[in-house]
Structure 1
Amino acid sequence: MINFQRAVPSELPQIVKIYNSAVPSHDITDDEMPITVDSRQEWLNHFNDRFPIWVVKDESKIIGWCALGQFYPHRAYRFSAEISIYLAPDAQGHGYGQQILSFIDQQIKTTLDIKTVIAYVYENNLPSQKLFQKSGYQQCGSLPQISIINGELRTLKIFVKHF
């Protein structure tokens, strides 16, 4: 049974470690090289009660993290959030992603003032696409060849869920 807790600064090294485990695939993150804890300090400070970040724990071990970040810094988008989910390699493929999205749905329905959640998923990341679709997200478009990672153009698919 997994549980969710709001992330605290002392957990940032584990959050970064889990993120960095996805970097070598080149189909999940925007980064070509691992990031540092120092480079993510300010990023962590942007999360708050309105746009939170949680760690996902199996017993006391952090196995992943999920966040609802501000979608765009204009008042018109104040009810929209961008979702991020990362699981440690040994936690993938065990149904945790579905549990995380169910938890996020529950938080939005009971606590958070969010009406729309947006997920950006690289076109080669089929497991994440399937996860979001299974959880009621609709693909509403794509951004063709929007980024260059390791010299290759990448396309992002956009998934949206309304509450």
Structure 2
Amino acid sequence: MGYQIRMATIDDLAQIVEIFNQAIPLGVNDDTALLEVVDRQEWFQQFDDTHPLWVMVDRQQIIAWCGLEYFYPHPAYVHSAEIAVYVRSECQGQHLGRNFLQFVDQQITKHLAIKTVIAYIYAENTPSQHLFKACGYSQWGHLPKISHIKGQFRDLLVFGKNF
């Protein structure tokens, strides 16, 4: 698979939402209903040169995306980011998530002023836990029964990495 990674543009948003929506039935994120592009436009606008959103593209199709969102809206946290990575369902199992996280590490160490990256992962999402552990993240916290989704209280694990 010959892919490239580049900064996302607003024209990519439909495919980004499509990939995000593939994960909703799996219960690995907070949403229970499929999103529309309009639902993610404000979210998309938060990304910038210090906290980017990238897409992985193969033959004009986005096969994965990764974003470094602002961790907390206070200047003291400007060097921290919350990471999210999603891989198109038919492309999973090809180490694209691992490749993307390695790319992000390189961007952080060479180009970005980010010093801490946090990932929130539901306890049931063991594939994501394994991915982040394999890429050098450690479990920093456990928030028991913090969210209520589809009638169930769910635990959220906090993974982190310092650069």
Q: 2: distance between equivalents of 1:121 and 1:13?
A: 24
Question: Shift in Å at residue 2 of structure 1?
Answer: 2.3
Look up the match of 1:14.
15
Q: Could you tell me which runs of 5 or more consecutive residues in structure 1 were left unpaired when the two chains were aligned.
A: none
Q: Contact 1:3/1:59 (CA < 8 Å) preserved in 2? A: no
Residue identity opposite 1:71 in structure 2: F
Over the matched positions of the two proteins, sequence identity in percent amounts to 48
Matched pairs, number? 162
Question: Shift in Å at residue 60 of structure 1?
Answer: 2.4
Are 1:99 and 2:96 an aligned pair?
no
Q: What SS class does the counterpart of residue 25 from structure 2 fall into?
A: helix
Residue identity opposite 1:119 in structure 2: A
Q: Could you tell me which runs of 5 or more consecutive residues in structure 2 were left unpaired when the two chains were aligned.
A: none
State the Cα RMSD in Å: 0.7
Q: 2: distance between equivalents of 1:71 and 1:20?
A: 23
Residue identity opposite 2:40 in structure 1: R
Q: Which runs of 4+ in 1 moved over 2 A?
A: none
Q: Describe the superposition over 1:55-74 as per-residue Cα deviations: whole angstroms up to 9, x where unpaired.
A: 11123221010000000011
> TM-score normalized by structure 1?
0.97
Q: 1: distance between equivalents of 2:149 and 2:124?
A: 13
Q: What SS class does the counterpart of residue 128 from structure 1 fall into?
A: helix
Look up the match of 1:131.
131
Greater displacement, 78-87 / 52-61: 52-61
Q: 2: distance between equivalents of 1:124 and 1:57?
A: 28
Look up the match of 2:56.
56
